[in-house]
Chain A
Amino acid sequence: MNPATVRRRGLAFVAVLALGYPLILSDYIRGLAADGLIAGIVVLSLVLITGFVGQISFCQYSFAALGAFTVGSLVGGHHWSFWLALPVGVLFAGVTGALVAIPALRLSGLFLTILTVAVALFFDRYVLAPGTWNSFSNGNANWDVGRPAFLGLHLTGSYAFYLFALGCFTLCALLVWNFRQGKTGRVLRAIRDAEVAAATLGINLTAWKLAAFGVSAALAGFAGAIGAASIGSVSRGSYDLVHSLGIAAIATVMGVGSVAAGAAGGLFYVFGPEILRHTPLSTQWFNLITGGLLIVQLIVTPDGLVPDFQQKLGHLLHHRQAGVGTAPDTVGAGPTAEAAAASEPKAATEAIPAVRRP
């Protein structure tokens, strides 16, 4: 089997599992799965900014809060339709992300990370503070958003909403995957690997960094808005620095260069504490376990668990073919190159195309 067939069958298997398995699960577990996929969208936003650009962000849930609050305020407070409020929230989060990135243009590495911590703390202490919250929400503890209807179907049922969350996640995963395969992924990774060289090739560093931060924040804002619909209401909890730190740690453990890690990370983020609840350990152990996993992962498989697993699975499935070793979904060795290497176009053997300038 060649890698493309393996990938196609793998995706088909995952699709059948994702659509079918929840049918035999309880409403409660379906709700958790939907929330896991929504958290997965936040992980995808980190894939873009950390996996591609190489910058760590500890304020993704602040952007999610912007999406959620916009939807909460417009739907709950001003009786907008959810579908009108959604793009407004996404846009608001995206623009804020790009604005936050402006000081970030002069910073990199650790300093930029600290800036994102500062943003998250600003949200914790000011935007999410009871005083600010009450002045926005007219004193209500939360905004009622309710569940929207999609193409005439009311998404109140647990399976219907799960499917909706799955669709949203798939859409975002496809976006990030297409970015990775195309110009966007190459340009951003080039900036990550050698910024000066990227600039001398003609890449506008400012524009691309702002765009990457903006789109990443917009994805997080999208997750926040969908999350508001999932809970049915928006309150000021669950968007603080600790959540952003947690999701960043999980994204790193799962493999921040991998699109599949989005689903794995999100589901782990939601089901991890849930599983702990049924053991003698309390859910408070979850962060400790994540931290321990992070240390082990950084030593054992620096690229993350999911790319490592994919690579091992790939080897297992076509170990007879020599020389096919690269992971199918890691940022470094993309299938573009594999596929291209397998199908070199005829033009290569012809002469170099004519020179453009005299």
Chain B
Amino acid sequence: MSLLDVDGISIHFGGVQALGGVSLEVHRGEIVGLIGPNGAGKTTFFNCVTGVLKPDSGSIRFDGHDLLPLPTHARAHLGISRTFQNLQLFGGMTVLENLMVAMDAFSHRGMLADAFRLPTARFEERRAQEHAWAILHFLGLKDRAGALAADLAVGHQRRLELGRALMSRPRLLLLDEPAAGLDNKETADLAGLLLRIRERFAVTMLLVDHDMALVMRVCDNIYVLDFGELLTSGTPSSVRQDPEVIRAYLGEGVA
């Protein structure tokens, strides 16, 4: 059974069709790639899955739940987490706080428990801290724990966003161009990191990126978008050889 089942979603902005009947399936444990030229609708697709945008038609099911009526935060509670193409860190907060707040979002305690430092608050605070340190350790960011997120280098910021998305132990991780702004070596490290994350956290991933080397290396399945429509899909090797994909996206030299 597929974990994420998107069936024919369409969305228009004014007269422009951003997505036209896109269907996509992600199975448990897979890393699925979503590629396509700029403006193909990849980020729009992510926004539909996370609830930032509402598609005009089509359906999105996650683990048997119909996602469309649910607001963004409720989808997160089902186990969907994401990173952003333009980093969306909490810049005025420390690295450690950026991670802890992702765990806070899943705790049920309200302002009253904080106001009087009730035992639950102290217990959960400690647990969030320990979990955040474990993530920092995993990502190799321990020595930056007290720094403001805004002060980190871009490579570290990308890592932190990834870590923040992992804090809530998601079942599906949506990665929006995680390699943007990274150099070749950092991108190679990222590929290794993504594979280790899948192993360590048992998380399924949907990955949007421009970097072909990264997508081809880590993905089990690839979907190709062009002008809001699905061009083709398949394994990395079949997509690489698809003449239409080569023409539309990869360009002459790549094949």
A interface vs B, CB < 8 Å? Answer: 175, 178-179, 181-187, 189-190, 192-194, 196-205, 211, 215, 326, 331-334, 336-338, 340-341, 344-345, 347-353, 355-358
Contacts and interface: CB of A to CB of B under 8 A. Distances in A.
Given A202-B76, A337-B145, A341-B145, A353 B131 contact: yes
Query: Which secondary structure dominates chain B's binding surface?
Result: helix
B157 interface: no
A272 B139 CA distance: 52
A200 B72 contact: yes
Given A192-B92, A193-B89, A211-B110, A345 B52 contact: no
Contacts of A340: 96, 129, 133, 145-146
A334 B115 CA distance: 17
Given A337-B96, A352-B134, A352-B201, 19 more contacts: A178-B115, A184-B114, A186-B101, A187-B105, A189-B92, A201-B164, A201-B168, A202-B73, A202-B102, A202-B105, A203-B104, A204-B73, A205-B73, A332-B148, A337-B145, A340-B96, A351-B134, A355-B169, A356-B169
Given A183-B109, A334-B94, A337-B94, A196 B52 contact: yes
Interface stretch (B9-17, B78-86, B241-249): B78-86
Contacts of B109: 183
Contacts of A193: 89-93
Contacts of B131: 353
Given A196-B52, A326-B146, A337-B96, A203 B134 contact: no
B interface, size bucket: 35 or more
A179 B101 contact: no
B131 to A, nearest CB: 7
A179 B142 CA distance: 26
Contacts, number: 167
Contact of A187 (B101, B126, B200): B101
Interface in B125-158: 125-126, 129-131, 133-138, 142, 145-146, 148
Nearest to A197: B88
Contact of B115 (A179, A190, A194, A197): A179
A257 to B, nearest CB: 9
Nearest to A349: B137
**Most chain-A CB neighbours within 10 Å: which of B97, B136, B200?**
B97
A245 B245 CA distance: 60
18 contacts: A179-B115, A181-B114, A182-B114, A183-B107, A183-B125, A185-B114, A186-B93, A189-B101, A193-B92, A197-B90, A202-B102, A203-B104, A205-B73, A334-B97, A336-B96, A341-B146, A352-B135, A357-B171
Contact of A333 (B82, B106, B124, B148): B148
B24 interface: no
Closest 6 CB pairs of A and B: A202-B76, A348-B133, A197-B88, A182-B114, A202-B105, A337-B94
B81 A200 contact: yes
B97 A357 contact: no
A185 B109 CA distance: 13
Contacts of B107: 183
Given A178-B116, A197-B90, A357-B202, A187 B104 contact: yes
A199 to B, nearest CB: 4
B111 interface: yes
Given A197-B89, A200-B50, A332-B93, A345 B73 contact: no
B174 to A, nearest CB: 9
